[in-house]
Structure 1
Amino acid sequence: MGVLTGSSHMRGSAIAVVIGLPFAFAATAGFLAGMAPIGGEAEPVAQAASTAPAPAPTVEPASTPVSTSPSATPSTIDPYIEAMSGGSETLQQGQSDRSETNLGDSDVEILNWVETDDPVFFITIDDGFDRSPEALALIQDQQIPVTAFLTEFAVRDHTDYFNDVTAFRGSVQNHTMMHGALNDPTTDVEWEICETQDRFEAQFGYRPWMLRPPYGAGPDEPNVLKYAEQCGINRIVLWNVVVSNGGEVEYWEAPIRSGDIVLLHWQDNLAQSLQTILDLGREQGLTPAPLEEYI
């Protein structure tokens, strides 16, 4: 499968070992927001500084971090759409320069592609806020194996839809409770990971064994590895191809190749984005396969 225990295996300009995508700006700017010019979750556009005098500061009472409150309402728009406007160079930068320091004592494997000679690639779809009937119809018509990395808050009342989506040898996997960046010190990492495990087991009838950190942030953070392992996760799955909501494709290394893990999001144009990557795969003689059967 192209990964080593307690390490990460990633594909670069050549097949390189890196610890994938914390996307350096993930924690602060919300890297890889939604899916846009392609890539990860994103840097918001900076606003021009106001020339008006600053208002007097006010003292706000201490508040609980949003990730620890099940009743909080996260934004339905990933900060993913603006992040990758720099193109492939940005995607490569986001997946490079990781440290393996924290991985030595962990049995959790981190990967952003799968080592295989089979002519296959893998469809993964994140979040779950927009449950497109057109996307479901396409998945059912072509019997596409889908690994759905779901945010619990977004899908807690939509069990049937996601059972249908993953019916073709796919599965529901962990994308946290509230989409909190796992390398943000205000995020309750244990709650984000482990509460999702418990709730998805109750909702879907099985316990996820894969985790995709929101924004690709913090996959090798000590607490992420600790709570992932404690709560039944043995794979942290990143990606090396992204398809935006508009159908643009961002590669680590073009064109799409055997073993590539494709990231999409549950957004309004998901059916179009799915068809785009299916067509590009077929041009290379590739078909989608269940990630669950290769790792």
Structure 2
Amino acid sequence: MTKERFSYKKNEIFYKLLRLLARLYSRMIIEVECIMKKLNYKKVFIFLFCLTAAVGAMGLAIKSLAFDKKKTVSAYSNDQNYPEADIQTFVKDDTKGGYSVSRPVLHIENIDKQLEAYIKKEIQDYEKKWKAIGGKASSELNLTYTILHFSKQTITISFDKYEQVGGKKQSGSRIFTYDIPSQKKLSIEDIFATDTDYLSVLSDIVYEELAESKEEGISKSLIKKKNQLKAANFDSFSVLKNTLVFYVKTDEDGDSSKTHTIAINKELFKDSLLDSYQSKDLNQDRVKEWQPKHVVAKLPVKNEWIDPSQKVIALTFDDGPHPSHTMSILEALNKYDAHATFFVLGSRVQHYPEVLQKMTEQGNEIGNHSWDHPQLTRLSKKKIKSQIEQTQDAIEKATGTEPDLIRPPYGAINDNVREYMEDMKVTLWDVDPEDWKNRSKKKIVGKVMSKAKDGKVILMHDIYQTSAQAAVEIIKQLHDKGYQLVTISELEQVKKDRELYGIDLQE
């Protein structure tokens, strides 16, 4: 129903009621006159009382209908997601100065008082702005909420606001987390031990996630100032059963609607997060635990030993591990303080787990190269899944962690293969000396060194003796030419650091 139609309907009812009350009033006057003539004072008193009540009712009806638009209504209803909570809504039905504001009623005294104070302050601020422009312009305030998480230990509430006053529109969100036992609003300092370096770890993780994010609205200048991130940048958060979720605002223009959600596994803070927020039982959601789509489970790679202003190159080795050939490559890498990435076959990992352990001890990286080297694009979905997952399991059993990188055999990939990669990154190559075909150390070394350039990825195989011998020589020559030999992840970090600091390396 349109506003004009609604207004017309209200006026029609109003005048009908006035006519009815007027007829009743006239009838009662006639009755009073008749009674007076008969001098029945008892009946006179009764009719006078009824007359007064009728006049009073008429006045109330007129006042209610005439000033209905200015009346504020407060209503309660039940929160459908969390039955323990009620919803209190304040509504002022007026296109000039009207609003609709809701907040949860948790029946937790001090938290309820804080939430009530917050929404009343929002209403007051809105009305102050409206009156400042004369109190006649069209305006609107809508404030709604969502309970993001509700456990025995904490509750997190997000308020979404839309405001329009005199043609100026504003929208944004505020997120509050309360500790239920103490009924206190939490800041980031309240959930971590004070003598730990949690803020530095948080800054590194957030910087890495934002730098990799493809979302719009991320301020590159703020990302570049990662070392300036303060505790206040992380005061919007939820404490879930297994994760901490941060709602990070990255814009610099004051638009608080640009928020980026970053979920981090609590295990990364096992030495700094306080016990009550570490507990899975206390932080299990009362209704249904929310599972973030992406959870940061590893700390970012730190290139503390790598200079982004100097040349870098990544050696990669496929089809291993081999008990002797791979070990000779590892010895050469260690000698020159170099790293490489090994894409291993699950069928070989199970026989030589100690070789993988040596790789990780020296700072090298391990990637998935399938179980036994089939062309994955020719397999059924079930077999593709088995090839990838069995290898992941074998690597985790040997090293304690699953790899993030995968190199499909022959570089063959399609949508069926991608379906089972989850968040793994596909890594191919730039230089292929075909060491599997040319079993000549001299030819392999010559091909690699002739094509070696800054930022390139070299493909080799550590299951052949000639390849291992060539690798030892290549590592020495690259080192002598000033190259830093890095893993794939370290290479990616160097590229980010160069962009961050404006480094343009020209060979």
TM-score range, shorter chain: 0.5 to 0.7
Q: Determine which of 231, 234, 237 is the counterpart of 2:427.
A: 237
- Note closer, same or farther for the CA distance 1:252–1:289 as it changes in structure 2 (3 Å cut): closer
Q: Determine which of 191, 201, 208 is the counterpart of 2:386.
A: 191
Task: Give the residue type in structure 2 aligned to 1:212.
Answer: R
Q: Aligned pair count?
A: 180
Report the Cα distance in structure 2 between the residues aligned to 1:181 and 1:138, rounded to whole angstroms.
31
Higher strand share: 2
- What residue in structure 1 maps to residue 376 of structure 2? 182
Contact 1:240 1:251 in 2 (8 A): no
Report the Cα distance in structure 1 between the residues aligned to 2:351 and 2:357, rounded to whole angstroms.
12
TM-score (norm 1): 0.53
Contact 1:121 1:289 in 2 (8 A): yes
Contact 1:242 1:249 in 2 (8 A): no
5+ unaligned residues in a row in structure 1: which ranges?
7-115
Report the Cα distance in structure 2 between the residues aligned to 1:227 and 1:186, rounded to whole angstroms.
12
Report the Cα distance in structure 2 between the residues aligned to 1:210 and 1:117, rounded to whole angstroms.
25
Task: Give the residue type in structure 1 aligned to 2:429.
Answer: W
1:255 has 2:445 as partner: no
Q: Determine which of 325, 331, 336 is the counterpart of 1:137.
A: 331
Contact 1:124 1:149 in 2 (8 A): yes
1:212 has 2:404 as partner: no
The one-character-per-residue Cα deviations of 1:180-216 (angstroms, maximum 9, x if unpaired) are 1112145821111122122322221001110001111
- Note closer, same or farther for the CA distance 1:137–1:253 as it changes in structure 2 (3 Å cut): closer
Across the aligned residues of Structure 1 and Structure 2, the Cα RMSD in angstroms comes to 3.1
The secondary structure found in structure 2 opposite 1:148 is strand
Deviation at 1:173, TM superposition (A): 1.3
Deviation at 1:154, TM superposition (A): 1.3
Contact 1:211 1:236 in 2 (8 A): yes
Q: Which piece of structure 1 moves more, 262-271 or 205-214? A: 262-271
TM-score (norm 2): 0.32
Structure label with greater radius of gyration: 2
The secondary structure found in structure 2 opposite 1:138 is helix
Percent same amino acid among aligned pairs? 24
The one-character-per-residue Cα deviations of 1:33-80 (angstroms, maximum 9, x if unpaired) are xxxxxxxxxxxxxxxxxxxxxxxxxxxxxxxxxxxxxxxxxxxxxxxx
- What residue in structure 2 maps to residue 281 of structure 1? 478
The secondary structure found in structure 1 opposite 2:377 is coil
- Note closer, same or farther for the CA distance 1:263–1:208 as it changes in structure 2 (3 Å cut): same
Contact 2:315 2:341 in 1 (8 A): yes
The secondary structure found in structure 1 opposite 2:388 is helix
Q: Determine which of 468, 478, 483 is the counterpart of 1:271.
A: 468
The secondary structure found in structure 2 opposite 1:169 is coil
The secondary structure found in structure 1 opposite 2:366 is strand
The secondary structure found in structure 2 opposite 1:127 is strand
Report the Cα distance in structure 2 between the residues aligned to 1:237 and 1:195, rounded to whole angstroms.
19
- What residue in structure 1 maps to residue 356 of structure 2? 162
Contact 1:242 1:250 in 2 (8 A): no
5+ unaligned residues in a row in structure 2: which ranges?
1-211, 215-307, 493-507
The one-character-per-residue Cα deviations of 1:147-203 (angstroms, maximum 9, x if unpaired) are 110001012121112221343321221001111111214582111112212232222
Task: Give the residue type in structure 1 aligned to 2:432.
Answer: V
Q: Determine which of 323, 341, 360 is the counterpart of 1:147.
A: 341
Deviation at 1:277, TM superposition (A): 2.4
Q: Which piece of structure 1 moves more, 122-131 or 186-195? A: 186-195
